[in-house]
Amino acid sequence: MKHLLIFIFFATVLLEMSGCGYKPSSKYSRKVVGEKISTNVIISAEDPENTVLIKDAVDRAIIEIFRASLVDKKYATTHLDFSVSEPHYSPIQYNQDGFVIAYRATITLHILRQTKDIKKKYNATGTYDFTIAPNAVITDQERFEAIKYSTQKAITSFIAQIAAEGTRIGE
């Protein structure tokens, strides 16, 4: 029994030291966007308060997911311009009386990635499902949360596109 425990201990240590070859997506993403990034979100005339929300979410993703620094455009290796489509709300569920009780909010981010050598466009879509009271309108709070969460999903989609692009770049 003692030998078995010693074997298991050393096997576990050896396995952890050898690793499985996993690399986080931030490593692949940095190959594409670099270490220094600047961002710009084009303000929507119809919905300026949500533009601030989107700018905060984008900047948070740059720091937390890309693990890069936010810098002024003149110091950046990559500049990202974001614009947002008008939110679209689709009914997805009705009650027995025919009233809408659930909606799906859809946001599309249009992103232009610019480096010294490359200008590339991306589209990333995010959705968020939410419920409302029967025969009610969507409140400002529900709309705000729907835009917030669907934008976060769109940013995650963009990050996945960048990470996939980074995997195709040689070591």
DSSP 68-134: -EE--GGG-SEEEEEEEPPPEEEEEEE-TTS-EEEEEEEEEEEEEEE-SS-EEEEEEEEEEEEE--T
The predicted structure's pLDDT at residue 93: 94
Q: Do the beta carbons of residue 68 and residue 35 sit within 8 Å?
A: yes
Residues 42, 51: Cα–Cα separation, whole Å: 8
pTM above 0.85, yes or no: no
The predicted structure's pLDDT at residue 90: 95
4 — pLDDT class (breaks 50, 70, 90): low
Residues 102, 104: Cα–Cα separation, whole Å: 7
In the chain, where are the structural domains located? 23-167
Sequence-ordered list of residues with C-beta below 8 angstroms from that of 98, at least 6 positions apart, any chain: none
Cross-strand bridge partners of residue 104: 90, 129
Interval 40-99: pLDDT, tens: 888 777 767 777 777 887 888 778 877 788 899 999 999 999 988 888 999 999 999 999
- Overall CATH class of domain 23-167: alpha beta
Interval 20-55: pLDDT, tens: 565 666 667 677 778 889 988 887 777 677 777 778
Exposure of 26 by Cβ count < 10 A (0-12 exposed, 13-18 middle, 19+ buried)? middle
CA distances, 41 to each of 14, 52, 114, 121, 157 (Å): 47, 8, 14, 14, 17
